Structure 1
Amino acid sequence: MKAAIFTLDTGMYKAKEESPAAAVLKRMLVQVGFEVKAAGVLPQEKAIAASVFCRLADTKAVDLILTTGACGYREKDCAPDALMASADRLLPGIPEAVRAYTLRYTKKVILDRSAAGIRNKTLIVNLPDSAKAAKEGLEYILPELVQVVETMQV
């Protein structure tokens, strides 16, 4: 199983910083058998992110794309929009489950617009930007993500 992890954050992208959230997610994916083929920071631009998602899915370079950040209500928060522009089908239950799980800890999650979907046979999932929230969200849904990826490879 192959994965890619991208943080959408223009400031981090311009400063060439690495994402703490992406590092945590990478460790978690490797522990369950994923090979992380790509990880990095992208600017908060819908067209760029959607293009990257489409290219990776259409070339079958990865089976799973995780994003962190840019899932809020501000105009520049484009991760869900990029996902929806690139997905063939949406899987609304994934972000709904993460939001319901996270609601126990903070009401701020009601402002989250994360999405999940499939393009070709690649699963794409938006996660929160903080390392702690992204880790908790992925821990909660990881068994189901592995199941989806394994099922689509058949």
Structure 2
Amino acid sequence: MSFNTSLRVFTSKSATLSSARIPTAIRAFHTTQRRAVIFQDASKQVFENAIANKEKVVIADFYADWCGPCRLISPTLKKLTEDPNKSGTGKPFDLVLVDTDSGDGQQLAQQYEVRALPTVIAFRDGTPISKFVGALDQQSIKKFLESL
């Protein structure tokens, strides 16, 4: 068999194979936006790991159970940080709740100079970028989050 004959046989076989119908399944990919992770009563180690996240803006809510305004603001923060489009930079949020009555919470409050409750500090790449102290209404909290 010559080279030309071999090539012709190979070409005709591959043409037959390529023209055969091969069932294909179409696979749909759905992407969802990343949702906020809520770290309840975060320890110092969890807190430091969370604020080091470079893909998200991390909101730290310093609170105490006995603090009335804290009980009002925490559910609002949980609700608003669930929407990944609230950040001005387009980065999604994580929420870290720090109980200032716990041992680690007291240390973190001292480290970040929390003088009144509630105090909310926003972190980007491990660095505090903005904060507010005291209870704000939902619209003001929304504006705060959009400014980040």
TM over 0.5: no
Q: Rg larger in 1 or in 2?
A: 2
Higher helix share: 1
Q: Per the shorter chain, which TM-score range? A: 0.3 to 0.5
